[in-house]
Structure 1
Amino acid sequence: MDRLRNYDISFSGLKTGKHEFSFEIDKEFFQLFDTEQEFTDPKINVHVFLNKHTTFLEFEIKVKGTVELVCDITTDNFSYPIENEIGILVKFGEEYDDSEEDVITIPTNDHAFNVSQLIYEIVALSIPMKKISPNISDEDLKILEQFSPKEIEIEEEVDPRWEALKKLKDKN
């Protein structure tokens, strides 16, 4: 957890107004978390914009860079661009609470806010469910389409007994 302190934004000594912080993250950043990533070789720039108000903090976090993904079709590695942003309001209260979607409450006596988890989540949410290389050939796409599931329209004949029951119901 000590290395995550590098991502603390200390706000207690800052004047009211706008402030900017920058980070460069790579695989070492993601190794700080106990989860397996769906990507390798991340090279991501992070810009954190803080608008400090007297009673709350407004954060805007933007990430931009690339990661290596494995194509679901060809299993070839390819570089995938990452670009995403999130806005978070940080207010002060009794204890830490992140149950609201865009609002985080931190204890009143805190002097810094750690953005590492938010950076991690922004990058993780930028990874597509289907990882298809931009270098995939038209022939590969045709083969994929040929073996993809198709929608089949099935006309079901309604059992006449159901129709009779439906008529009885409609009378009531």
Structure 2
Amino acid sequence: MKKLKDFEINIAKLSNKKHEYEFELDDSFFDLFAKDIILGGKLLAKVELDKAETLLTFHFDIKGTVRLTCDRSLDEFDHPVDVQEVFRIKFGPENAELDDDLWQITEGTQSINIAQHLYDFIGLSLPMKKLHPRFVEETDENEDDDQDILIYSSKQAGDDDNSDDNDDDDIDPRWSALRNLN
């Protein structure tokens, strides 16, 4: 059983150079988080930490599959995941989230837990509409047909595409006077 402590990196003892870590993310990892989106999975996360004097740069490379629930049939299926992300942490006077991919921590911080970052990167890589692979081909065929169907148009039935540009008869005379101003 994995614990959050398994994903801590002790940055205080690291020298200023590149360090590499590997984490196996399986069902016990996903048990640490709410199971509303990702039910489980089997992934390998390679994390490269480039430590400098005032900046920590994490390069995440996560590959594998996660188990999701289909939005249409409620069947479980495996979805491939391939994520490459960069996350930076700089040292400063206080702990703060400066941007989505930039945090600030104090100089005295001993370790950083990257479990939440791993989970977030995986979750953000998932599609909004989670469909079992047997429905994906069916949806692709329907989308090709839908491109030819016109849902709404503001033009009248007899209007041409070019008639709006050259037709001065339908313009309010107050607006046509403004065309003469240059």
Per the normalisation by structure 2, the TM-score is 0.73
Letter in 1 for 2:176: K
In structure 2, the partner of 1:102 is 101
Q: How many Å apart are 1:132 and its aligned residue?
A: 2.7
In structure 2, the partner of 1:89 is 88
CA 1:131–1:152 in structure 2 vs 1: closer, same or farther (change >3 Å)? same
CA 1:171–1:88 in structure 2 vs 1: closer, same or farther (change >3 Å)? same
Q: How many Å apart are 1:131 and its aligned residue?
A: 2.0
CA 1:166–1:73 in structure 2 vs 1: closer, same or farther (change >3 Å)? farther
Q: Which moved more, 1:20-29 or 1:60-69?
A: 20-29
Name structure 2 gaps, 5 residues minimum: 165-169
Give the aligned CA root-mean-square deviation in angstroms.
3.1
DSSP 3-state at the match of 2:118 = helix
Q: How many Å apart are 1:24 and its aligned residue?
A: 1.4
Q: Which moved more, 1:95-104 or 1:121-130?
A: 95-104
In structure 2, the partner of 1:8 is 8
Q: Distance in 2 between matches of 1:117 and 1:134?
A: 28
DSSP 3-state at the match of 2:63 = strand
Q: How many Å apart are 1:102 and its aligned residue?
A: 2.7
Does 1:122 pair with 2:131? no
CA 1:136–1:87 in structure 2 vs 1: closer, same or farther (change >3 Å)? same
Q: 1:111-132 deviations in whole A, cap 9, x for unaligned? A: 2111112111101111111223
In structure 1, the partner of 2:53 is 54
Matched pairs, number? 167
In structure 2, the partner of 1:23 is 23
Q: 1:42-76 deviations in whole A, cap 9, x for unaligned? A: 11211111112223222112211111223334443
Q: Which moved more, 1:94-103 or 1:83-92?
A: 94-103
Q: Distance in 2 between matches of 1:55 and 1:119?
A: 23
**Identity of matched residues, %:** 29
Q: How many Å apart are 1:108 and its aligned residue?
A: 0.8
Whether contact under 8 Å (1:87, 1:102) holds in the other structure is yes
Q: Distance in 2 between matches of 1:141 and 1:148?
A: 10
Q: Distance in 2 between matches of 1:62 and 1:52?
A: 17
Q: Larger radius of gyration, structure 1 or 2?
A: 2
In structure 2, the partner of 1:39 is 38
Q: Distance in 2 between matches of 1:55 and 1:9?
A: 17
Whether contact under 8 Å (2:30, 2:39) holds in the other structure is no
